[in-house]
Amino acid sequence: MENPDFARLVYLGIIAVVLIGWFVAQARASLNKTLQQASIWGLIFLGVIAAVGLWQDISQTLRPRQIALASGQVIEVPRHRDGHYYLRLRVNDAPVEFVVDTGATNMVLTQKDARAAGLEPATLNYFGRANTANGQVQTAPVVLKSVRLGEITDHDVPATVNRAPMGQSLLGMGYLERWGQIEITQGTLRLSR
């Protein structure tokens, strides 16, 4: 232990002894109640220390970070606790959250996300077919005016809208290949141009 750390520890120990001594002197008549209150405050103190120590893990679990580095030319995304990578893009100026799916050929929008991006799913022509783990589904090809990730905006991006219900829009290889390099290392997805 370094000297400054040891000095701090001694200082905090002296303060703790003084505070405990004061509590005992003040509460000789009701020592049982004082010990109960001290225990409660001790548990609260330990709970706060645990929450502060775990906050980074908790906040990343609740909302994984999406970091843009080097003037927006590099995007780094941590793996979510469910094992997938999620990216929030602006599709025709609407925020849409995607799950990265390297097994998907195209960018695939849910009906809800297509509506948010200004498309009307009911008027689309669903002549396309896609084979999924749940069987064959009908798809409608569309061209998105703009897709923005970080500081990078692409125009006239081909995508499909899935007619079948989906829980999440998919970010497939059709869009990912627009980035010069795709790398997954130690739980981090890195896209760079």
* Structural domain boundaries enclosing 17: 3-62
Do 118 and 174 contact (CB within 8 A), yes or no? no
Strands 107-109, 152-162: pairing is: parallel
What is the rounded CA–CA span in Å between residue 156 and residue 92?
A: 10
Give the CATH number, domain containing residue 183.
2.40.70.10
Overall pTM > 0.85: no
CA torsion sign for 90, 91, 92, 94 is negative
Q: Report pLDDT digits (tens) over 71-107.
A: 568 888 888 888 899 999 999 999 999 999 988 889 9
Q: 33 is written with which tokens?
A: 């109640």
Whether residue 163 is found in the same domain as residue 142: yes
- β partners of residue 119: none
Whether residue 90 is found in the same domain as residue 175: yes
